[in-house]
Structure 1
C-alpha cells in the first residue's frame, strides 16, 4: 500500500460466496479492487463481476436526494410523510395494512432494524424479502429436518470430499469462486468425482464426471430412489439413524422401492446413469451434496431439499469433514437476513414466530409494545394483497419487484394502484421508482458499513471506503428515523451500525444457553473500535468463546423438540401437465457476468462483452420444428406475459425446454423481463415461486428488417419494437429490429441526431444500408441495416468506438463490417478480464494450445478471475471433437 492510497478490507456485494476484497482509493478518487488473500472464503480469488467492481462505482445514475411525487424534498419532510402515512394506515386499518419488502442486498444491521420496527413495534409480520425468491425452500427444509435453519457444513467440505454432487447449481457461473476452489481440489485429488444434476448442460458440466440431465422438477423421484437404493444395498448408518433421528421408516415407505426402470421413465435419465450415480453415492463416505436455485425455485422445492437431506441422515454423512447437504445462497446477505428474521415467517435470532416462548424472548428483549404473533404475507402473496387493496402502505428497499417477482406485470399493476409506496434505492434505472410516492436515496456498496453473512455461516464486515454522495443515507438510518417519528424513539436511537450489531449479538445470546443454533454472544459488548476491525468469523460463537470453524450435527444435537433430526417423507408429485397451447417448460437463471437486474453490472463494458443481448436457448429439434433459425427473434409466452428475445439454438437444453436469463429489464431491452412470463405459483411449505418451471409457448416473430449499431451516445428513444442496448468501451452497442418496412435513413437520424459528416452505402432493392457518422476523424456512430439478421463482426464493430481516429479512404472500411486482414476478428468474448474471444482461442488451440492451462499461457485467458475456464474447456472439447470427426472422414475417404 503506497502513501498516496488507502486500502479497505471489505466484502463483495454479489453472490452468497462472500468473497473478501481489497478496495484501494487513490488521492484522485479512483478505486481499484482486488481479492483479499486473507479472507477465508476466497483467499484472494475473485470472479469476473468482483474483478470489475471498481468499474461500477460511477454516480451518473445515482439517486442523490429524497423526492416526493417526483420533486426534490428535504429529509425531514420525506421522513415525516413516511411516518405519518404508515401510522395512519395502522391506526385506520390495523398493523397488517402495511408492509416492508426488503432485500438480500442490504446489510444485517439494516435488516435487523427493519424486522424490529415491523414485528416488534408496528406489530405485523408483513416484512418479506427478495431472498424468498432464492432460498426460502432451503429454510423450510432445514427447519423441518433440523428444527432450525442451520447450514451444517463449510466450504472446506467441498475440498475434502471424494464425491461432490451439484444439484440445480450452475456453480461455475453463479458461485464462480467456490467453483474455482472445487476445481483446484479436484486437480489435487484425482480420485474426486463430481456429479452435476441439472436439466441443462451448463458451464459447470465441464468439471463433471457424470451429468444427469433429468426432466425438470423430478429431483424428488431421483433422490427418493437413492434413499431406497441405500436401504436395499445396506449402505445405511444404522447407529446414526437410531441415536440421532426419527421418522426413517415413514420416509422409506414414502420413497417406495428402488425401481430403476420407473425412475428412468420419470426422470428421463438412462438406467445406466442412474445406477452409476446410486453406486457412487453408496460407496463414497465423503459425499457433499451442494444445491441451489434449481432445487429451491420450485413448487416442490422444500420436498426436494428434504429428499436430499434424507439421504445424508440415512448415511450419517452430515456434520463431518467432507460430507453433508450444503445450500449455497444467491445473494450476499441472504443468510444475514435469515439470522435477524427478515422473512415473514421468522423471528430475529433464528427464532420461530409460531413459538410463544420465542415471541416472549424477543418482545422482552426489545421491550416492545407488541409482537407479531402470526406469519406475515410472503412475497407473492404480499403483492397480491397490494393488488387487492389490503396493503395501504408499502416500503421497498434495494430490490425491484416489478422486474424480479413472478407475474411481474401483475406486480407492476398492483404497485400502480397502491395508495402509498416508498422506495429506498440507489439507481435511477430501478423500475420500482416509477411507482414511488416517496423516493429515499440509499447508500450503495462502498458507502455502506455493517456486516453480511455468507453461505457457510461466516460473518464479514462490509466497510465504507467512499463518502456518501449528495444527501444519501444508509438504510438503517432511514428506518430508525421513521421509527422515531412513529413514536418509538428510545428503541431506535442507534448511533451507528456497531450499536445495532451489539444488540443483534446480545439478542442471540439472550436466554439461549445452547437451545438455539444462532449465537454470537461473544460480540454482544463489542466496542465501536473492535467492530471496525472485526475479522471474518463463523457462527456460532457464544459468549466468552473464541472464534473457530464449526460444523453441526455430526453427533446429533438437533434443535427439534426431541433433539433428533426428522426424516421428512417426500412423495413425488408429477410436474403439472402443460396444455397443448403451452408445450414448453420455461427455465430461468443467471449468466456468468451479470447480476440481478443489471443496475450495477450493466454499467461496465467489460461485463456486457460476454453476453450483450437477452436470449432463449432452444433445442435444435424444437427450433427446426418451429421454423426457427439461429439469431431469429422469438416470443416466449405464458398466460401471464411474454418476452421477445434472440434465439440461441443449442443442445444445452433438452427437447421441450427453453431457458431465458433473468437479468434484462426495460432499461436495457424492449421486452425481456422474463419474470413477467413466470407463473406466480409457489411451494406450499416455503412460499417460494417455481421460477424453473412455467408452461410456455415459443414462436418465431417475423421481422421485416434487422439492425445493428455502435453509438457514441445512448439514444433518447429507440423507435423499434425490438431492441437490446449494452455499454461498450466508448459508447453503446444496439441490436434492433422491426416488423414493418421503414425508412432506414430516418431511423438512423432518430438514433444519432445531429449527424453531419455521414458516409453511406446501400442497395434499396436489396434492402440494406450501412452508414457511419464522424465528428472530425472520430467515429460517432456506425449503423448496419438488413432484411436478414445483420452479418457484422460485433466485437470488431464495438472496438471502433475506442479505436484510433479514422480519416480518408480508411473510412470505407468501417462499413465493410469485418476486421481488416491485419486485425483478425477476436470472435465472441469468452474471457472478460482480458477481452479474449472464441476465434482467438480456436486459433491458439489449433496451433497446439490444447488445454486450459496452455490457452492461459498463450493468451492469458482464464488466468485472472478464472470464471471463463469452464467455457474455455468446453470450446476445446468442441474443437477436439471436430478434429476427430475430420480425421474419421479423411480415413473413410
Structure 2
C-alpha cells in the first residue's frame, strides 16, 4: 500500500509562524519569522501562557542553530548513500527476519522526549501493537520516570496536579534537585516575580550550591541522596505540630499511619533529620516551620531527585507531605514535577515508556483489551518491556538483535556508555533516525547499520506537551532539507511494508493526532486522567491553528487547570495513597580508591549532547570547555589549580576536564556537566563514567552519585586554535571545540612544545602566508594564517601554567580581514582595542568586561547593570553571576 504524504507547505515570504521551543519541558511559545534563505528571526510569543514572550538564552539563540552544517540529508546503509526505498526495505526485511528467527521481542526501539507526540504515537503503535515487541523505551527514562512512578503510587495515575499559575500564587516554593535558574529559567523568573509581588519565599534543596541556591531565601545543602530523610522528617513534624489536614487525610487518602511510622523510623526529630542529611538543626527547623505554617506551598522537583536509585521514594516522600496537609489541587499549592525534555509528557501520553500502553493505560487485562480492539492490533503486547538500562544490558548479552534509535544520543547520555558503544557492534541491525550526521550514535556501527535523515526543529510539524499538561503545536516554518522526512511518516511506511497497511495509512500529522485523541477517550468515562477526546474530530484547519490547551479536555466537561481539587484520585477507591518510603542510602559506597561522589547535570546555555546548541557562538561562549567543579579543600589536597586540567575516573570510565575550584560543591563531591561528546571534546562523555544503578520501581538510573577519584592531568603546553573550518586534532591532545564568530575554536593541551606547534601549523596550512612569533626558550608560539588579506586561522601556545587567553583573538577573528593593528595584536597576544571579555549574559551577548565597566561606572545593583548594558534583562539566568560581581555591600542591598 502506498500512501502519499504531501510536501510541507512553507511560504517563501517572511510570514511569522507560532511554534514551540524544542528545549526543556517549560514549553515556551516562539514566533519564528523565516528570512527566505533558510534562517529565521526568533522572538518569544507574548500570547503563550507558558512564557508570555520571555525566552531563555537557548530559546533566544534558536535562530543561530538552523544551519545545515553536518546535517544528515540522505539515507545511508552501512555508510553508503541509499534511496529511501532501499533503506526502508532493509529495515523492514531485517525486522521480519529477526521476528521469524528470534521472536518479536528481539526487536527494540529507543525513543526520545524530543520527538513530537505524533512521531511517538506511531512508533509505539507499530512496535507494541503490530510488531509485538514490548521493548520500547525512551531517554525520558533518564529524565522523569521516577516522578511517573511516584505519581502512579500516590494518585493511581501519572498526573501532574498543578499548573504554572501555582508558581505565581504560592507563598513558599520549595525546589528539590532543580537548578531552575539555569535549567528552567522562564519558570524561575515567574518565581522571582512572585517574590517581588507577594513576598514568596524560595527554599532550595540540593547537594550543590547552584545558581538557584544563590537566589534562595533558604538553602539546604543536604548530603547526596538524603532527600527522602528530609521529607520524612517533615512529615513527622507536620503530624507533631498539628499541621496536617485530618479531614482530608480521613476522607481522601489511605496509608497515612504506615507512612508516618516509617518516617518516624527514618527521621523522628529535627535533630535526627539534621544528622541524616548533614544539615544544621537550625536550618532543618526553619524549613519545617515555614512549610508547616504556610498554606500555599509548591514543592517542585526535577532531575536531582529523579535521577537516583531511590528516585521514586524521593518523589513519594514529597507527595506524602502535600497529602498530609491537603495542599494539592489548590491554587498555589501542590507537588510539581518539572520535566526536563520538551515532550517527555507527550511521550508518556502515548505509552513511550516500556511499562505503559498508549493513553496512560497499562497492562490490566481490560486495558490491554481496549487498546487491542481500538487499534485492531494482532500482536498487542500484554506485559512490560525492558527499561533503558536493562534494554542496553540485553543488547550486550545478545538478547536484542535489532534496535531503532530515534532522536537521541545514548552513546553520550546513557550510563556506562562505553559498554553500550561496544554492545551495539553485535546487533544484526542498528537503525538511527537522526538530524546530525556526526552524532556519537549516528557514528556507531553494527552488522547492518541504517541511518535515516530526520526533520529538525523548524521543519517538523506536530504537537508537544509541557510540564503543566499543556499541548502546543510545533509548526514548521522551514522546508525539509535534502531527503529528510517526518519520523511518523517513516514509521508508518515501515508498518505498511510489514503488511499492516490499514493501520498505518496516515497522510498527515493531524490524522495521527486525531487517532491519538480518540484513543484517549475510548471507553474512558472518567476512569483515566488523560482524556483529550474533545479533539478527536479536529479538522486539518483547526489543527493548524489550534491554540495551546491543557488536558484533560473531554467531550463531557471541558478542561481543568488543576486536578484533585475534589479529593478524588484515579485509584479503585478514589483515594490517594501515602507511601512508606525506604531510608536513604547511596547506591554505591565511596572507598579509599574512589573517595569522591560524582554528581552530573546541565549548564545554562547547552542542551543535552550539544548537537543543536553547539552550533551557536553565543551559547558556546559561556562555558566553552567541559569542566569539573571541586571544593577548595579537595583541590589543595589533590594539587589542582583553577583552570588546570584534571582526570576524573570511576570504575567505568574516565574524563579529562578543566578545573573550577568553588565552594558550590561540598567537600568530597565533584560536579561534571553532561553535554560534551566525542565530536566536540577529546574525553568528556559523562555517560562513560556513571554506573547508573536503576531505581527498582521506575528503572531510572542513578546519575547523581557515582564513586570517583580525581587527580591532576599534566600537559606541557596549553593553547587555542581558531580556524574558519574545523581542524582535525593531533593524537594525544586534550581538546574542546566550540563555535565562534567566523568559524570554529579549539582549546587544547599537549605534551609537546612550541617547536612541534610551529611544524604542525606549517604542515596544516601549506601554500598560505604564515605570520609567526616564536620564543622556544619560554615555550611560546603564535601564528596567524592568511589567504591574501583574509585571516583563515590563528594559534597561540604557551606553557601550561601561562596558557594564552583567547577572548581578544576571538574578537579579531570574527572579522575576516584584519587591519595592521589587528595583525600585530594577533602575534603580540594583546587586544588591539578594549573587548567585551568572556560572555556572562548569553541572551544579549554581554561580556564580563562590559559588566565590570558598568559597575565601575556606578551601576550599584543588578537592575542598574541591566539598565546600563542589558545584561540580565531577558531570562535572568545570568543574574546570580552579575550579583557576584557587585561589591559585597551592594550585593547585600541588591538581594
Alpha carbons 1:720, 1:738 under 8 Å: kept: yes
Bigger Cα displacement from structure 2, 825-834 vs 34-43: 825-834
Matched residue, 2:268: 258
SS at 1:326 equivalent: strand
Matched residue, 1:891: none
Choose which of 321, 326, 331 in structure 2 pairs with 1:321: 331
Q: Distance in 1 between matches of 2:38 and 2:414?
A: 37
The question of 1:206 aligning with 2:182 is answered no
Choose which of 835, 852, 859 in structure 1 pairs with 2:845: 835
Choose which of 129, 132, 136 in structure 2 pairs with 1:127: 136
Matched residue, 1:105: 114
Superposed displacement of residue 181, structure 1: 1.5
Say what the alpha-carbon RMSD is for the aligned residues. 1.8
Q: Distance in 2 between matches of 1:856 and 1:587?
A: 33
Bigger Cα displacement from structure 2, 783-792 vs 270-279: 783-792
**Mapping 1:629-708, distance limit 5 Å:** 629-708=641-720
Matched residue, 2:873: 863
Superposed displacement of residue 260, structure 1: 2.2
Bigger Cα displacement from structure 2, 732-741 vs 90-99: 732-741
The question of 1:225 aligning with 2:237 is answered no
Matched residue, 1:888: none
**Mapping 1:53-72, distance limit 5 Å:** 53-72=62-81
The question of 1:852 aligning with 2:886 is answered no
Matched residue, 2:250: 242
Alpha carbons 1:708, 1:790 under 8 Å: kept: no
Q: 1:750 to 1:462 in 2, by over 3 A?
A: farther
**Mapping 1:365-444, distance limit 5 Å:** 365-436=374-445, 437-444=449-456
Q: Distance in 2 between matches of 1:877 and 1:810?
A: 34
Q: Distance in 2 between matches of 1:52 and 1:357?
A: 48
**Mapping 1:175-194, distance limit 5 Å:** 175-189=184-198, 191-194=199-202
Superposition TM-score, scaled by structure 1 size: 0.96
Bigger Cα displacement from structure 2, 462-471 vs 276-285: 462-471
Matched residue, 1:447: 459
Superposed displacement of residue 742, structure 1: 6.8
The unaligned stretches of length 5 or more in structure 1 are: 885-893
Q: 1:883 to 1:27 in 2, by over 3 A?
A: closer
Superposed displacement of residue 747, structure 1: 5.3
String of CA shifts for 1:545-568, please: whole Å, max 9, x gaps.
44x442111221111122110000
Alpha carbons 1:716, 1:751 under 8 Å: kept: no
Bigger Cα displacement from structure 2, 3-12 vs 829-838: 3-12
Superposed displacement of residue 774, structure 1: 2.4
SS at 2:773 equivalent: strand
Q: Distance in 2 between matches of 1:550 and 1:804?
A: 53
SS at 2:443 equivalent: helix
Superposed displacement of residue 120, structure 1: 1.0
Matched residue, 1:557: 568
The question of 1:276 aligning with 2:286 is answered yes
**Mapping 1:457-536, distance limit 5 Å:** 457-536=469-548
Bigger Cα displacement from structure 2, 845-854 vs 40-49: 845-854
Superposed displacement of residue 373, structure 1: 1.3
Alpha carbons 2:552, 2:560 under 8 Å: kept: no
Alpha carbons 1:707, 1:790 under 8 Å: kept: no
Alpha carbons 1:718, 1:751 under 8 Å: kept: no
Alpha carbons 1:442, 1:475 under 8 Å: kept: yes
Bigger Cα displacement from structure 2, 734-743 vs 364-373: 734-743
Superposed displacement of residue 809, structure 1: 6.0
Alpha carbons 2:722, 2:793 under 8 Å: kept: yes
Alpha carbons 1:791, 1:817 under 8 Å: kept: no
Alpha carbons 2:717, 2:803 under 8 Å: kept: no
The unaligned stretches of length 5 or more in structure 2 are: 1-10
Matched residue, 1:890: none
Q: Distance in 1 between matches of 2:337 and 2:233?
A: 21
String of CA shifts for 1:699-718, please: whole Å, max 9, x gaps.
11111221222222210334
Q: Distance in 2 between matches of 1:85 and 1:303?
A: 41
Superposed displacement of residue 881, structure 1: 6.9
Q: Distance in 2 between matches of 1:742 and 1:687?
A: 51
Q: 1:708 to 1:579 in 2, by over 3 A?
A: same
Q: 1:772 to 1:448 in 2, by over 3 A?
A: same
Matched residue, 1:805: 817
Q: 1:750 to 1:105 in 2, by over 3 A?
A: farther
SS at 2:671 equivalent: strand
The question of 1:571 aligning with 2:582 is answered yes
Choose which of 295, 299, 305 in structure 2 pairs with 1:285: 295
Q: Distance in 2 between matches of 1:872 and 1:81?
A: 55
Superposed displacement of residue 826, structure 1: 2.7
Matched residue, 2:3: none
Matched residue, 1:79: 88
Superposed displacement of residue 721, structure 1: 2.6
Matched residue, 1:749: 761
SS at 1:432 equivalent: coil
The question of 1:336 aligning with 2:346 is answered yes
SS at 2:43 equivalent: strand
The question of 1:37 aligning with 2:54 is answered no
String of CA shifts for 1:256-278, please: whole Å, max 9, x gaps.
15322222222111111111000
